[in-house]
Structure 1
Amino acid sequence: MAARQPHYRVTILVLGDLGRSPRMLNQAWALAEDGAAVSLAGYHETPVDRAVAEHPRIRLHRVRSLDRAREGRSRILFLLFSAWRAAFLGLESFWLLLARTPRADVVLVQNPPSFPTLLAGWLAARARRSLFIVDWHNFGYAMLALRLGPAHFMVRLAKACERWLGSQADAHLCVSAAMRDVLTREFGLPAAVVLPDRPRELLPLLPMTARSAAAHRVLSRAGFVLPQDAALAVCPTSWSADEDMDLLLEGLQRWDSQGAPSPLPRLCVVITGRGPLREAFEQRISGLCWRRLTLRTAFLDPADYRELLCAAHFGFCLHRSTSGVDLPMKLMDLFGARTPACVLDYGECLTEQIQPGVTALTFRTSQELACRIDQLLAGFPDDLQLLAQMQCNIQAACTETWQQVWQREAAPVFHRVLRSA
């Protein structure tokens, strides 16, 4: 593979930490496997998966990162700081695409963040006579509405700009059929291709009866002690505003307080990841006392993270879509490890990724979450019938890897636009 000459070049721009951008890492890896020479640009804050970092066709480029506006600032200060940050990152990104990377046949950008990603990618692509493709993970204006409210004039302006800049692209990928419908109906982009998230690899199935021993080994390496009579749950998160960690905490407190502490099962919850809201959450839980629950936060390297997912009895997914049409990538990490999940139900779009009651249990309130934990732990530790059945259901339903889906859905998009250039 290393000796073959690349038959096209792609530059990928991610205005986020590459190590915590699994979909774009997967894009880079799939493109390289397809024969492309890939320049992957983004923040270098956490380690990049070795399969990408050491791929002979992928070269990493650093974009200087700037902290986001802190929570608690007034709207005026938030907007002023965000505008200055966008201008700085826009110039940084444009110069990188224009002068610090080889000329590409295709510039692929992740959206959001929309500003300045879409503008920098589009201008650089046109200046270097490259094709411009957008991979829509969500909508930038919907993320902005979390801070300003959906009726704010800046949110309406952001949507108009995002729609216009999006219309300048030569092709579009998106994460869900529901998002494709919005792109068609509200953005006037009828040709978006759905590229659903799938696990990079389907990890070997570890039976529920063997997971406690595996959990002890994994946690001991991370410096944690798993009580002998405790189940392990993992919550993969990016610690961003579109994950409802308050609801998780309320649900865990309800579960911990109900019933007598013995002989009810104990639970250890490990919340993984790194992001802007982690420190505030850790401060909040530092003074809490638990009767039968242990709560820890950790950031693991990719290999230990995958092993933790395989060892967990079940997982939590607290993604709450800002647009109602994006899907949680972290859930695919759990399914790739054949690990059942409790999933926050934020709307009909979620059924594109899960089968409620079959591959995952859903909840909307903290009381429902506490009940779901009880359901999953029924019979612990020796007779985990529901978890074992869900594990088999996931294995039957989740049979495709990212590479297989990418070759079927995305590869024709790149090949088509290259032929038409």
Structure 2
Amino acid sequence: MVVVTIVVLGDIGRSPRMQYHTATLATQGYECQIVGYEGSKPIKEITDNKKITIKTLRDCPPFHNYVPRLIAYILKTLWQVITLLFCFMFMKRSHFILVQTPPAIPALAVCWLYCVMHNSIYVIDWHNYGFTNMAVTLGEQHKLVRISNWFEGYFGRKANFNFCVTKAMRKDLKQRWDITSTIVLYDRPFDSFSSTPLHFKHAFFKKLSKQYPVFATTTNSENSTVFTSCLPNGLIALKQSRPALLVSSTSWTEDEDFSILLSALKEYNSTVTELPNLICVITGKGPLKDYYNKLINDYNWKRVTIITPWLEPEDYPVMLGSADLGVCLHTSTSGLDLPMKVVDMFGCGLPVAAYKFQALSELVEDGKNGIVFTTSQELAEHLIEWFKDFPNDQERHNCFRKNIEQNFQNLRWHENWVQHAQPIFQCNFMDVIKKS
């Protein structure tokens, strides 16, 4: 049996694209080993599949607490080299290594070395660039940024095959580093991301109301939530007087400027126009979450309520499928990747307001399946226009949802993967190695 090792130098549970690769490879008959760090719970298609083995890496010690930043980075890199090589020693021999980048250092070099030693096929899946991520905090001229740029180009050219997430990235890989053999594999929603039936919404909101009172009615009725009610005949109905539901997912990092959404919500909160109350659910984990939670709690909200829960993998699609509009703050350090969160939203039939950057048009068509913005003022205007006359006037909303269904939901992750990625793994890998 052909063995494929998928390498994620990060939290496996927060790496959806690599989890989807793994799950699909297993359904196609390959034996899979996915390597990465523990943290969030992986999807059940990973944990429940006997053809998939999860190999966890030992977390890096907090060197940055004891030594200067540059030395800490060197020590972290050495730690990752050693732990990754050690992990490879106790795995089944792999015929294919599929590695995610970023992070590029040291994963690309270690995986290439393994492939040379074991005559395996080396495949890179480009999600973004590591050097552009570094440049956000260090500056473009920093030595580490320049080293990372060289590193990614050098080991990127060593790959037998490359996947990337946009046509713009494929073009840039060719121009920047002369990396060819690149296949554009667009993110597509996994089967778990679909529209949420009304009775599922009702049960979901009832469950959430036990932890978040904003979802409960003032009477705490067992048969209703702030959005839904159970009729005497047992059918579920949406309330005419319900608030609007806005949802966003963020990593709470510097490459997603949450202050844009916060400012837009303040504008919505203070507008004199008749608008529905708005419940804003912002999911995700990250270093800036506590900072923004304090800003949220210190503000005098009147018609807006913001909560920041962490949703389990099985609950997140239900939330997206229950919302009235999604917001994406992803700006892309390279301008060449696309946000997976928008793909998930489209999978659930949810229109999106997304921050505009270079490659976004490959996913979001302004005025058709979403709306774009570049400032908090523009986002505020979109929110006010979108929820004007809510929930009575749904014509525009339904038009967006129809476009999403017709132009996006027809091709899911599995079918797209079989069409574009499977030929690589069906090739005669010994011949490919001899020719490379």
TM-score w.r.t. length of structure 2:
0.88
Matched, 1:333 2:344: yes
Who is 1:220 aligned against? Answer: 209
Matched, 1:63 2:57: yes
Q: Does the C-alpha gap of structure 1 residues 59 and 339 become closer, same or farther in structure 2, counting only changes over 3 Å? A: same
Aligned sequence identity (%): 33
Rg (Cα) greater in structure: 2
Task: Tell me which of 90, 108, 116 is aligned to 1:100.
Answer: 90
Determine if contact 1:216/1:225 at 8 Å carries over to the other structure. no
Who is 2:374 aligned against? Answer: 364
Determine if contact 1:214/1:311 at 8 Å carries over to the other structure. no
Q: Does the C-alpha gap of structure 1 residues 217 and 302 become closer, same or farther in structure 2, counting only changes over 3 Å? A: same
Who is 1:198 aligned against? Answer: 188
Who is 1:86 aligned against? Answer: 77
After TM superposition, the structure 1 = structure 2 runs for residues 46-195 of structure 1, keeping only pairs within 5 Å, are: 46-66=40-60, 77-97=68-88, 99-195=89-185
Who is 1:4 aligned against? Answer: none
The amino acid of 1:113's aligned partner reads P
The amino acid of 2:2's aligned partner reads Y
Determine if contact 2:170/2:183 at 8 Å carries over to the other structure. yes
- Report deviation, 1:416: 2.8
Task: Tell me which of 278, 283, 288 is aligned to 1:277.
Answer: 288
Who is 1:343 aligned against? Answer: 354
Who is 2:331 aligned against? Answer: 320
Extract unaligned runs of 5+ from structure 1. 1-6
C-alpha deviations, 1:223-266, integer Å up to 9, x for none? 34237431111102222332121211121112212226xx4211
- Report deviation, 1:316: 0.6
Partners in 1 of 2:199 and 2:376 — Cα distance?
A: 30
Who is 2:233 aligned against? Answer: none
Determine if contact 2:13/2:43 at 8 Å carries over to the other structure. yes
Q: Does the C-alpha gap of structure 1 residues 204 and 30 become closer, same or farther in structure 2, counting only changes over 3 Å? A: closer
Partners in 2 of 1:237 and 1:317 — Cα distance?
A: 8
Task: Tell me which of 248, 258, 272 is aligned to 1:235.
Answer: 248
Q: Does the C-alpha gap of structure 1 residues 288 and 336 become closer, same or farther in structure 2, counting only changes over 3 Å? A: same
- Report deviation, 1:213: 4.9
Q: Does the C-alpha gap of structure 1 residues 68 and 357 become closer, same or farther in structure 2, counting only changes over 3 Å? A: farther
Partners in 2 of 1:106 and 1:203 — Cα distance?
A: 29
Who is 2:363 aligned against? Answer: 353
Q: Does the C-alpha gap of structure 1 residues 259 and 28 become closer, same or farther in structure 2, counting only changes over 3 Å? A: same
- Report deviation, 1:276: 2.6
State the secondary structure of the residue aligned to 1:298. Answer: coil
Extract unaligned runs of 5+ from structure 2. 218-225, 227-241
C-alpha deviations, 1:65-122, integer Å up to 9, x for none? 237888xx9xx9333222221211121112112x121110011110000111111211
Partners in 2 of 1:159 and 1:317 — Cα distance?
A: 28
TM-score w.r.t. length of structure 1:
0.91
Matched, 1:287 2:298: yes
